[in-house]
């Protein structure tokens, strides 16, 4: 692993009483923050490197200002896990700025190692609930948004926790510029039907496929994720849906 980059990217962390702090958000966050206890070296990596790569929410009105380059496009991945897809897309698209939202610290630690190994400066992390960030970013600021294999919340009483809902789709419709793309992938049959129903009801995004023939082949520009690979190895059908912002 390379040494940590210069601290010129270091961010001032928001105080907990700031209205911009995620904990001040009124919507309850249900995702996991921690899995297995982190090893001391991993904890040290988080403390040392996460402030370097954390997206500066105070610059949300001009998100490109938090990057080293004045890129033409900003991409957003929601729930990027260990960052396999995010980091690979950042390496493949050096002229694009990317933000990955992930609140699970074990996944963030893997992502940080990948970012450092690849020496990527066009990627930032939002290590909190993504919804406050969505409300801060400017209208039509996102060219591509990814929601890849989100938590299915399979119990009926937990379905309301699913990210794909009317309120979040309105958020994404505000952010994704006309002609931009929203990509959603899932390996969960019930969630697939849930997504289909809500995207059919939505009037801001149109499918780039036929509802009668859902795409089950990985797109050419796709970067495999751990969850996808695990599902496919078990013979579980994966669905890859691209939508264009109208």
pLDDT tens track for 148-162: 998 887 788 878 889
Residue 49 falls within a domain, yes or no?
A: yes
| Each residue's pLDDT tens digit, 30-50 | 555 555 666 776 677 788 889
Mean pLDDT for 104-125 is 91
241 and 228 fall within a common domain: yes
Which positions ≥6 away from 209 have C-beta within 8 Å? 215, 241, 242
First and final C-alpha spacing in the chain: 43
| Domain limits for position 196 | 139-246
106 and 152 fall within a common domain: no
- In this predicted structure, the answer to whether residue 3 has a pLDDT above a threshold of 50 is no
DSSP label of 54: B
Final residue of a structural domain among 120, 138, 156: 138
Considering only residues 212 and 224, tell me which one the structure prediction assigns the higher pLDDT.
212
Instruction: Give catalytic residue positions.
Output: 151
83 and 123 fall within a common domain: yes
Mean pLDDT for 69-86 is 93
pTM of the entire predicted model: 0.87
Sheet order of strands, 123-126 included: 123-126, 96-101, 73-78, 142-148, 176-186, 239-245, 205-207
Percentage of the chain surpassing pLDDT 70?
Answer: 84
CATH of the domain at 88: 3.40.50.150
Residue 11 falls within a domain, yes or no?
A: no
Residue 187 banded pLDDT, cuts 50, 70, 90: very high
pLDDT at 225: 83
Of 207, 198, 201, give the one whose Cα is nearest residue 244: 207
Considering only residues 194 and 19, tell me which one the structure prediction assigns the higher pLDDT.
194
Residue 27 falls within a domain, yes or no?
A: no
| 140, 71 Cβ separation under 8 angstroms | no
130 and 221 fall within a common domain: no
Of 148, 165, 163, 58, give the one whose Cα is nearest residue 100: 148
| 36, 102 Cβ separation under 8 angstroms | no
Of 137, 87, 136, give the one whose Cα is nearest residue 115: 87
Domain count, the chain: 2
């Amino acid at each position: 692993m390379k040494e940590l980059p210069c601290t010129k990217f270091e961010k001032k962390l928001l105080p907990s009483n700031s209205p911009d702090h995620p904990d001040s958000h009124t919507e309850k966050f249900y995702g996991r923050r921690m899995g297995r206890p982190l090893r001391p070296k991993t904890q040290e990596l988080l403390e040392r490197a996460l402030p370097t790569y954390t997206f500066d929410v105070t610059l949300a009105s001009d998100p490109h200002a938090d990057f080293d380059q004045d890129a033409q496009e900003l991409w957003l991945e929601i729930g990027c896990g260990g960052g396999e897809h995010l980091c690979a897309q950042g390496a493949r698209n050096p002229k694009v700025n990317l933000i990955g939202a992930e609140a699970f610290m074990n996944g963030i630690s893997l992502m940080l190692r990948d970012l450092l190994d690849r020496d990527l400066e066009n990627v930032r992390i939002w290590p909190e609930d993504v919804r406050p960030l969505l409300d801060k970013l400017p209208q039509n600021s996102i060219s591509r948004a990814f929601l890849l294999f989100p938590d299915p919340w399979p119990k009926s009483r937990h379905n309301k926790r699913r990210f794909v809902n009317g309120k979040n789709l309105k958020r994404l419709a505000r952010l994704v510029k006309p002609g931009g793309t929203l990509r959603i992938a899932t390996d969960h049959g019930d969630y697939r039907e849930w997504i289909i129903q809500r995207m059919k009801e939505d009037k801001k995004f149109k499918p780039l496929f036929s509802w009668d023939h859902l795409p089950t082949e990985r797109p050419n520009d796709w970067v495999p994720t751990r969850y996808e690979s695990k599902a496919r190895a078990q013979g579980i059908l994966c669905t890859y849906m691209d939508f264009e912002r109208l």
